[in-house]
Structure 1
Amino acid sequence: MLKHSDIWRAIDRLAAQNGLSASGLARRAGLDPTTFNKSKRTTGDGKLRWPSTESIAKVLEATSASLGEFVSLIGETSGPGTVQRVPVIGYAQAGSAGYFDDAGYPVGAGWDELLFPSLGDPHAYALEVSGESMEPVYRDGDTVIVSPAAQIRRGDRVVVRTKGGEVMAKQLVRESANKIELMSINRAHPDRSLPRNEVAWMARIVWASQ
């Protein structure tokens, strides 16, 4: 499972590879110089604070490093086991019959793939966002990674597929024995309340490439 310390270690190693301190790396990426300071890695009450996907994207661009190269810097040691290949499925395709099995895992061959820090879930997959139904959180062309094995809690952003084949990304409001209530991420779109017996599966969004 990806840990808080793994990501911060990778940022420190990326800075060192470029002859920079963590604050120097932030400055080169156009971020506040204190963004990666040790004091910023936890909150005042001791909770872990993760770097944003936006800040990681900016440092990769500033250092001309790929996501795969960044991933190789994660963990106590770099090497096999720190990375997994995640299949990328177009969001429009996600609603088509045959792309998922009954358990909600992608089926078939020929997917595009991306390298990602190991999620501890071999069935994780990525969806390319299409359209504006998830703005402003997710925009057209963004990639979201979905983990069917991840525990889902109220307030999590999830991908849901109905037995009729409709696929939607929403925020889980409430889940009962009979019903799943979902809030639209884009407030211009209606919220949904689905009878549980009409839901094929629901999986949590664990990362987005914003």
Structure 2
Amino acid sequence: MAFADRLKEARLKIGYTQEQIAEKIGVAKSTYTGYEKGTREPNVNTIGRLMEELNVDANFLWQDETTFPFELTYDEMEHLVKKYRNLDDHGKELVNFTLDKETERIECYGKLGEASRPVTAFPMRLISYYFKNASAGTGQLVIDNLPDKDIEIPDKPEYRNVSYAIGVNGSSMEPAFQDGDILLVEATQEIEVGDIGIFQINNECFVKKLGEKELISLNKDYKNIPLDETAATLGKVIGKL
């Protein structure tokens, strides 16, 4: 029995629909359906959420596979998932951020002790990074406007107007932005129809494309959000790390 079949078996055992489990792990229903069809593969963070929600371990999901779809042993997977499950949301954000940045470093410069690839060097500058993510889904409560830390970004010409960074929570902006991406944002209230921005409606924070009378989700599995008198623009998305 393949990973996709094991995943379906575990879901049916606890009585979840595909839509329900997709919502619990923060991906689109179409994305989760791809996992069960074998046409898409979840990343390590999503696999951790699946194990937690379905109450299964790596041995169950891959017991009939010769290898994982990534270079981890069974013991490594168990070790990582158990520690990850015990973290709070802030800790998980830090782990995800560190993994992304270290992966980017190795892709750019190679592993320590190996010959580095030539790269174009840019000076770096600090911007504020908000862990209270902008929702690419059904909305995330805006608790305060204090940044959690500062991060470095390349001082490239295209990033000159970037003033802060914010994480993405959810999958309504796929394929442009994935759950866990870090967005680079220009703090401005003036953006044009068709631009992707950070918006606040009824004390909830969204990353969406601006329409004439609504905020538009790129993923068609999610509904658009009508603009009302509470709507405010918090910034324009310039890019992502």
TM-score computed with the length of structure 1 as normaliser? 0.49
Structure with a larger share of its residues in helix: 2
TM-score computed with the length of structure 2 as normaliser? 0.43
Larger radius of gyration: 2
